[in-house]
């Protein structure tokens, strides 16, 4: 069985650390990746963190995960609130799916309160900054241990 966790990130998250730091913090996506790596490697798992500004690319990576990943952690960014295509792709994936948001989307504008992806996510973590990625990895590790 594959021991890789895909950590997929949507639009504008390449600018994490520089983009609206008062909301998203000053840590980068690479900092998030190292935190996840630490958690995953202690349980014999690998992480593969990716980011794209393109919806179709994220759909393609989810399809790839069907063969190559044991679990998916996903921050779809703005596509959270718009993308039935990403939701449908996640429905084709059998392993654990954890949705992460750096900010607490429920404390923000009303248009951020609804997530399409939550209809498939096994867990949702919001408002913990990049620590949310490490928490999501911990949850995936325990879900995979139970599977
Ligand atoms: C986000 C929240 C989304 O509403 C927003 O569009 C993002 C980032 C978060 O991590 O808090 O780009 O997913």
Domains, the chain: 4-146 (3.40.50.9100)
Q: Which of 27, 112, 114, 116 to mutate to test the pocket of ligand 1 (most atoms within 8 A of CB)?
A: 112
pLDDT score recorded for residue 2: 72
142 Cβ contact partners less than 8 Å away, ≥ 6 residues apart: none
Quote the pTM value: 0.97
pLDDT score recorded for residue 9: 98
With H, G, I as helix, E, B as strand and everything else as coil, classify residue 142: helix
Q: What is the DSSP letter of 45?
A: -
Ligand 1 centroid–CA 1 distance in Å is 32
Active site residues: 24, 101
pLDDT score recorded for residue 16: 96
Q: Which of 102, 109, 124 to mutate to test the pocket of ligand 1 (most atoms within 8 A of CB)?
A: 102
Residues of the chain where predicted confidence (pLDDT) is lower than 70: 1
Q: Are 130 and 31 in contact (CB under 8 A)?
A: yes
CB-ligand 1 contact for 12 (6 Å cutoff): yes
Read off the pLDDT of residues 59-83 as tens digits, 9 standing for 90 and up.
999 999 999 999 999 999 999 999 9
pLDDT score recorded for residue 1: 64
Ligand 1 centroid–CA 84 distance in Å is 16
Q: What are phi and psi of 24, to 5 degrees?
A: -105, -5
């Amino acid at each position: 069985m594959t021991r890789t966790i895909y950590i997929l990130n949507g639009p504008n998250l390449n600018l994490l650390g520089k983009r609206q730091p008062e909301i998203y913090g000053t840590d980068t996506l690479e900092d998030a990746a190292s935190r996840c790596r630490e958690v995953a490697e202690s349980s014999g798992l690998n992480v593969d963190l990716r980011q794209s500004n393109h919806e179709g690319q994220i759909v393609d990576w989810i399809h790839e995960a069907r063969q190559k990943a044991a679990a998916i952690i996903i921050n779809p960014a703005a596509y959270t609130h718009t993308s039935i295509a990403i939701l449908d792709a996640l429905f084709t994936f059998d392993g654990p799916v954890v949705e992460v948001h750096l900010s607490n989307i429920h404390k923000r504008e009303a248009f951020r309160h609804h997530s399409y992806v939550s209809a498939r996510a096994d867990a949702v973590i919001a408002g913990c900054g990049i620590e949310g990625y490490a928490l999501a990895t911990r949850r995936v590790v325990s879900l995979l241990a139970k599977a």
